Chain A
Amino acid sequence: MEASKVIHAIYTDDDVLMSAVKKVKAERHHIEEIYTPFPVHGLDKAMGLAPTRIAITAFLYGLVGLTVAIVMMNFIMIEDWPQDIGGKPSFSYLENMPAFVPIMFELTVFFAAHLMVITFYLRSRMWPFKKAENPDPRTTDDHFLMEVTVHGNENELQRLLAETGAVEINLVDKAH
């Protein structure tokens, strides 16, 4: 299968990588993946990746946490056993609300933060004992790797990537 063939172009500088990405995009080749040792500012924009929606999920998780806090405190303190504790007015939720605000706040933050992190792990497929998907160990240190799919245009692609300043260009067959 031809589509399983990719080219790994390796760079040693993030600025060179950025201009290479722009060039490859301009020539309308599909960039499969880019591996970098650290976040390169503007790389997602240059690659044309869709913006993340994780902040929206965090907001919704926060609302869930707020609801949990309100329902929980309302049930425990107002409905189930409305005791007089130090003269606090446990007649209705609103009357005693200031005392519940710290819990409401903390649970909102707790839910927003933790569920967002878990969402991040799920979406980026990260978990303990996960097999690392690193094509070249040098990309965790000081090299940048661009993976471009090949559709029978190997030579043309290799020439283009060499022009962009790649220090190493490897043709890799992904289908094992």
Chain B
Amino acid sequence: MYTFSNKLKTFSIALIVLGVLGVGYGFMTSHKSLEDVKEMLAEEASHHGGEHETTTKAHVVAGVEDHSNNAHEENAHGALADVDHHGDEHAEHVMHQIHNRPWAALYVAAFFFMMIALGVLAFYAIQIASQAGWSPVLFRVMEGITAYLLPGAVIVLLIAIASGTIGHYNLFIWMDPEVVAHDKLIQGKSGWLSLTWFSVRGIIFILGWWLYRHFSRKFSIAQDTAEDKSNFKKSFRISAAFLVFFIYTESIMSWDWIMSVDPHWFSTLFGWYVFASMFVSGITVIALISIYLKSRGYLEFVNENHLHDVAKFMFAMSIFWTYLWFSQFMLIWYSNIPEEVTYFVTRFEDYKLPFLGMVVLNFVFPILMLMNADYKRIPWFVVMTGLVILFGHYIDIFNMIMPATVGDRWFIGIPEISSILLFAGLFIFIVFTALTKAPLLVKGYPFRKESEEFHY
């Protein structure tokens, strides 16, 4: 049995406290009035001098939609016409972006940690459904990580709904009836994008995921003391069923929770793209937590062959992510259709470093670090690469949400960092508490012996 060390517990609670303080600070300081924003803009203009004119123009063309940066043909045309008298409108636009920042920062971090748990759940289901012989010794670690899924997903959904009810439509502009009234495109999508349906769908996703996690965990623990293999058979069946459910709901979830921050934009492989991101982050976290637990002497049945396999998955899924990232980018770049290319135009103009930097973090670095078979067996090497991959995928989610909510007013400052701390603390606390609830080795699982003796 694993015991949650006091040090780690204190550490996670400290992270949560620090995070809450920082998030609170972010919300307090973002409440700028229109007058403040005007003053700030005037100051910026005097600082930048002539430069300002051009950046403003690009900015307005990119999107004058009240709260968002979504470009939209009609609005873009309108924007060009009234570029000269954009004073108040511009200030209002900037004010909303500033208001959005703590919301978006919180949402990105909440989604990032939720997606790790969801990615691990998918990985776990695949291991059971494919009857993998190498991974059963890591099942309890995976089950521990997926304990975060229910609270994490509920938090994401609550933030999304709160941004449209308590907040002033800070994440999803389609929740704002005033925007929808003036926006034919969103009106056309309102059959799908309505707050009620959004919430109902979210609850269905979370319920489905949680049910699978609940029962697979239950069967897994019951199998430890069972005389026969009936629990294994049950978990095999529900894993297969879950994977079907998962791939549908994951896809829909990615439209709802991420793609709809840009309600004028759509992409068909977006669900897969988000999936690749969550899958590789989840596998990386499995590796990190296994290495941590092993270094504390809790997983003596896990050897470097298991680590090697997990690292292979990290390597392969990093390439898979890049493949989807590039396929989405290249197809849109190549055909350059105005209604879809604005998505990448805003990212290229305002987010050049994070947008291109994440390709280095998520592709170039892991591919060079994890290509050598010997390096995949060295714990500190995998940890180092894993941390870079995790940071890269945080930036990936950042790139999905931020351009639509805060536009060019982005920065990785107190709201962003403290949101990460908050959810990291929560994640560590919940995951390691769950790890103490059951022995770290699945005892009665049919492939346990094969897995313990796994040798590459």
Interface of A (DSSP majority class): helix
Q: Per-position contact with B for A100-111: 1 when CB-CB < 8 Å, else 0?
A: 010000000000
B386 CB, nearest partner CB in chain A, Å? 22
Q: Are A101 and B330 in contact (CB under 8 A)?
A: yes
Instruction: Determine if B330 and A98 form an interchain contact, defined as CB atoms under 8 angstroms apart.
Output: yes
Is B336 an interface position by the 8 A CB rule? yes
A99 touches B334 (CB 8 A): yes
Q: Of B329, B330, B334, B371, which one neighbours A59 at CB under 8 angstroms?
A: B371
Q: Residue B411 at the A interface, CB < 8 A?
A: no
Q: Which residue of A lies closest to B335 (CB)?
A: A86
Contact with A along B393-434 (1 / 0, CB 8 A): 000000000000000000000000000000000000000000
Closest to A88 in B: B334
Q: Give the residues in chain A near B333, CB-CB below 8 Å.
A: 98
Residues of B near A101 (CB, < 8 A) are 326, 330
**Interface of B (DSSP majority class):** helix
| A128 close to chain B: CB less than 8 A | no
| A contact residues, total (Cβ < 8 Å) | 6
Chain A min CB distance to B349 (Å): 15
- Contact call B334/A98, Cβ cutoff below 8 A: yes
**A137 sits at the interface (CB 8 A):** no
Which residues of the other chain, B, contact A99 by a CB distance below 8 angstroms?
A: 330, 334
Bound together, the chains give a CA A11 to CA B336 distance in angstroms of 67
A152 interfacial contact with B, CB 8 Å? no
For the complex, give the distance between the alpha carbons of A99 and B334 in Å. 7
Question: With a CB–CB cut-off of 8 A, which chain A residues contact B329?
Answer: 98
Identify the closest chain B residue to A42 (Cβ): B455
Give complex CA distance A160, B326 in Å: 62
Which residues B321-351 have CB closer than 8 A to chain A?
326, 329-330, 333-334, 336
Indicate if A48 sits at the interface (CB-CB under 8 A).
Answer: no
Specify the chain A residue showing the minimal Cβ separation from B336: A87
Q: Complex: how many Å from CA A87 to CA B336?
A: 10
Per-residue contact bits, chain A 39-78, to B (CB 8 Å; 1 contact, 0 not): 0000000000000000100010000000000000000000
Task: Please provide the chain B residues from 193 to 246 with a CB less than 8 Å away from any CB of chain A in the complex.
Answer: none
Contacts of B373 in A (CB 8 A): 55
A98 to B330, CA, bound (A): 6
**Which residues of chain B are within 8 angstroms of A87 by Cβ–Cβ distance?**
336
**Which residues of the partner chain B approach A55 to less than 8 Å between Cβ atoms?**
373
The residue in chain B whose Cβ has the minimal distance to the Cβ of A99 is B334
User: Which residues 124-181 of B sit at the A interface, judged by CB distance below 8 A?
Assistant: none
A141 CB to nearest chain B CB (Å): 29
Q: Min CB distance, B398 to chain A, in Å?
A: 22
B134 to chain A, nearest CB (A): 16
CA of A101 to CA of B373, assembled, Å: 26
Determine the chain A residues whose CB is within 8 A of the CB of B326 once the complex forms: 98, 101
**Which residues in chain B, 287-332, are within 8 Å of chain A measured between CB atoms?**
326, 329-330
Alpha-carbon gap, A59 to B367, bound state (A) = 12
How many whole Å from B345's CB to the nearest CB in chain A? 14
Docked Cα-Cα span, A29 to B334, in Å, equals: 65
- Chain B nearest Cβ from A175, distance in angstroms: 41
Q: How far is the CA of A59 from the CA of B372 in the complex (A)?
A: 10
Residues of A close to B336: CB separation below 8 A: 87
A80-115 near B? 1/0 per residue, CB < 8 Å: 000000010000000000110100000000000000
Which residues in A have some Cβ–Cβ distance to B below 8 Å? 55, 59, 87, 98-99, 101
New contact pairs (9) apart from A87-B336, A99-B330, A99-B334, CB-CB < 8 Å: A55-B373, A59-B371, A98-B326, A98-B329, A98-B330, A98-B333, A98-B334, A101-B326, A101-B330
12 contacts between A and B (CB under 8 A): A55-B373, A59-B371, A87-B336, A98-B326, A98-B329, A98-B330, A98-B333, A98-B334, A99-B330, A99-B334, A101-B326, A101-B330
Closest 7 CB pairs of A and B: A98-B330, A98-B333, A99-B334, A101-B326, A101-B330, A98-B334, A98-B329
